[in-house]
């Protein structure tokens, strides 16, 4: 089993534990809403983990065939063809090997699953991730923050018919002793948006509410900016190394 799959499974176990705690301490109606929200996240995580695993297994399955082709080129001394084939393999592997390894295993799994999903949906990506080993939020909170932001960005890009106009830019790292998350994406909105909670269907507003709540509890900073065709979210959280 690939290392990136294991953290994803652990994350699902954490979500299940959260659901049990929720059932004990919160009113029934709120419990139902939170359970529905957690189940949605778990379902997405399963889909994204499976997508990453399928890509990695697919390349491994083709590996022997690639080696056989190269062997024939070498035996026939077809050096130019051999080099061209290796270049094609490198490009193919670059498309598959998008595993981000920063040292924070759980956060890496979350980021990789979303990056894999965006690539599968033909979205151009520019990703810079420098996650410290210790986060100023819990793993579940990071999943809520990054997961919801990426889901919204991916959904916005999917509404754009032209694939070449779809893009998501991600930056995660430390900035002025703050843990900084920035996600910018293309949209099909032609005018500025005043109310973000009403833009989405059932469940999306709750995701934005959860983001706002975490930022407030952690005494962080949240900024949403929208221009025609572009939407951006910035989050800064106090970080103590």
Q: What's the domain count of the chain?
A: 1
Range of the domain at 157: 100-238
- The predicted pLDDT at position 197 comes to 47
Give the rounded percent of residues in the chain with a pLDDT score beyond 90: 24
pLDDT band for position 198 (cuts 50, 70, 90): very low
* Predicted pLDDT at 73: 85
In this prediction, residue 227 has a pLDDT band, given cuts at 50, 70 and 90, of confident
Task: Tell me if 43 is assigned to some domain.
Answer: no
Alpha carbon distances (Å) from 6 to 43, 59, 78, 88, 234: 16, 20, 42, 30, 29
**Residue 7 domain-assigned?**
no
Using one digit for the tens of pLDDT, what is the confidence trace for 95-132? Answer: 555 566 676 777 877 888 888 888 888 999 999 998 88
CATH number at residue 227: 3.30.565.10
Q: In this predicted structure, what is the pLDDT of residue 171?
A: 94
Would residue 139 count as lying in a domain?
yes
What's the whole-number average pLDDT of the chain?
76
71, part of any domain: no
Sign of the C-alpha dihedral, residues 1, 62, 49, 97?
positive
In this structure, the strands spanning 178-186 and 124-129 are unpaired
Phi-psi region of 104 (alpha: psi -120 to 50; beta: other; left: phi over 0): beta
- Name the pairing type of β-strands 178-186 and 230-238: antiparallel
Q: Evaluate whether residue 152 is within a structural domain.
A: yes
What pLDDT was estimated at residue 4? 46
Residue 6 in domain: no
């Amino acid at each position: 089993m690939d290392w990136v799959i294991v953290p994803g499974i652990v994350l699902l176990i954490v979500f299940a534990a959260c659901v049990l705690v929720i059932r004990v301490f919160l009113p029934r109606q709120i419990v139902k809403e939170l359970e529905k929200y957690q189940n949605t996240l778990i379902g997405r995580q399963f889909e994204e983990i499976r997508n990453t695993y399928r890509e990695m297994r697919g390349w491994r399955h083709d590996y022997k065939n690639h080696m056989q082709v190269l062997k024939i080129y070498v035996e026939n001394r077809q050096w130019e063809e051999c080099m061209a084939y290796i270049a094609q393999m490198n490009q193919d592997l670059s498309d598959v090997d998008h595993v981000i390894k920063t040292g924070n295993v759980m956060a890496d799994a979350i980021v990789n699953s979303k990056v894999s999903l965006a690539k599968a949906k033909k979205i151009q990506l520019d990703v810079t991730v420098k996650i410290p080993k210790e986060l100023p939020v819990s793993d579940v909170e990071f999943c809520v923050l990054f997961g919801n932001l990426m889901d919204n960005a991916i959904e916005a890009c999917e509404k754009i018919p032209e694939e070449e106009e779809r893009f998501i830019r991600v930056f995660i790292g430390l900035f002025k002793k703050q843990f900084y998350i920035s996600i910018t994406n293309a949209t099909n909105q032609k005018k500025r948006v005043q109310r973000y909670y009403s833009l989405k269907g059932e469940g999306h507003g709750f995701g934005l509410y959860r983001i706002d709540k975490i930022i407030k509890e952690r005494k962080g900073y949240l900024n949403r900016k929208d221009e025609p065709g572009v939407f951006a979210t910035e989050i800064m959280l106090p970080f103590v190394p």
